[in-house]
């Protein structure tokens, strides 16, 4: 399928013709946790009213640029699932096979989950909170095994060995969890020529972009990921990855 699209590559606006398999990565629309400035993590909060519209708008944008996908992937949290369904409705591709995985879940923020970020700064100090949020290998305080925030106590993860489920994660730990899904599920399909839509979360986007773009840990941890904005890659049959850029609305 040939697709002509307008993208942002760095600060430059480009119109490009693509002929290979497409990978579109997208952070979910704004969530209620984003709106309330919370550490959300694996808490299953829905989209805000603005987030629902961001998701619909992203779907309309992809349809305008002629995207046709072979499969769709999301995390097991409703803010990505609902974003995906809005996109597929707008694309008129609701029939696509959908795959959901805990490996695409947001970073687990441990005992910080559900806390307001400003309140947490007031309690622990800005420097400490910034280390928990954006350092590559600093892990926030762990959630206790009997806590309702521990994924081992959530029935949706009952089939996953408890020892594999996180009680808190750094960005480095999130990357270690996410990359097997890239290697085992996404890359093989892309090398076969399938185009994929992946709706996930901000930290997972950092992990995937850092890997795909060959970024250093320092570069990866500083990435800013907008909500509801499709990021496009092209993958050839040899598995070579080419970053195209964020999809832009027509002018």
134 assigned ligand-binding residue: yes
- Note if 54 is an active site residue: no
106 assigned ligand-binding residue: yes
40 assigned ligand-binding residue: yes
117 assigned ligand-binding residue: yes
Please state the separation of Cα 53 from the chain's center in Å. 18
Rounded Cα–Cα distance for residues 167 and 164 (Å)? 10
100 assigned ligand-binding residue: no
31 assigned ligand-binding residue: yes
34 assigned ligand-binding residue: yes
162 assigned ligand-binding residue: no
133 assigned ligand-binding residue: yes
79 assigned ligand-binding residue: yes
Catalytic residue among 73, 85, 86, 106: 106
Rounded Cα–Cα distance for residues 74 and 82 (Å)? 10
Catalytic residue among 28, 73, 85, 150: 28
Q: Apex CA 239: angle with CA 235 and CA 245, to 5°?
A: 30
Residue 24: beta bridge partners? 197, 232
- Note if 28 is an active site residue: yes
Q: Apex CA 103: angle with CA 22 and CA 24, to 5°?
A: 15
Q: What does the CA dihedral 249, 58, 45, 163 come to, rounded to 10 degrees?
A: -110
Rounded Cα–Cα distance for residues 108 and 237 (Å)? 34
- Which DSSP state fits 203? H
Residues contributing to the annotated binding site: 27-34, 40-41, 79, 106-109, 117, 133-134
Annotated binding site for substrate: 27-34, 40-41, 79, 106-109, 117, 133-134
Point out the residues that are catalytic: 28, 106
């Amino acid at each position: 399928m040939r697709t002509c699209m307008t993208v942002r590559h760095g600060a430059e606006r480009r119109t490009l013709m693509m002929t290979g398999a497409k990978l579109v990565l997208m952070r979910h629309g704004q969530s209620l946790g984003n709106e309330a400035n919370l550490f959300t993590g694996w808490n299953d909060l829905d989209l805000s009213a603005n987030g629902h519209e961001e998701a619909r708008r992203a779907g309309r944008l992809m349809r305008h640029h002629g995207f046709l996908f072979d499969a769709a992937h999301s995390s097991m949290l409703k803010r990505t699932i609902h974003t995906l369904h809005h996109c597929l409705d707008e694309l008129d591709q609701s029939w696509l096979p959908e795959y959901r995985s805990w490996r695409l879940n947001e970073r687990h923020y441990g005992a910080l989950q559900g806390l307001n970020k400003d309140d947490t700064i007031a309690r622990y100090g800005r420097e400490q909170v910034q280390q928990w949020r954006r350092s590559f290998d600093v892990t926030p305080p762990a959630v206790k095994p009997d806590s309702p925030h521990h994924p081992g106590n959530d029935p949706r993860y009952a089939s996953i060995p408890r020892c594999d489920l996180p009680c808190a994660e750094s960005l480095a730990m999130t990357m270690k969890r996410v990359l097997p899904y890239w290697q085992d599920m996404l890359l093989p399909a892309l090398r076969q020529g399938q185009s994929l839509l992946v709706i996930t979360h901000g930290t997972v986007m950092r992990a995937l972009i850092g890997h795909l773009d060959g970024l250093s840990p320092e570069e990866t941890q500083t990435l800013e990921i907008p909500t509801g904005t499709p990021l496009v890659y092209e993958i050839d049959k040899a598995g070579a990855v080419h970053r195209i850029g964020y999809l832009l609305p027509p002018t």
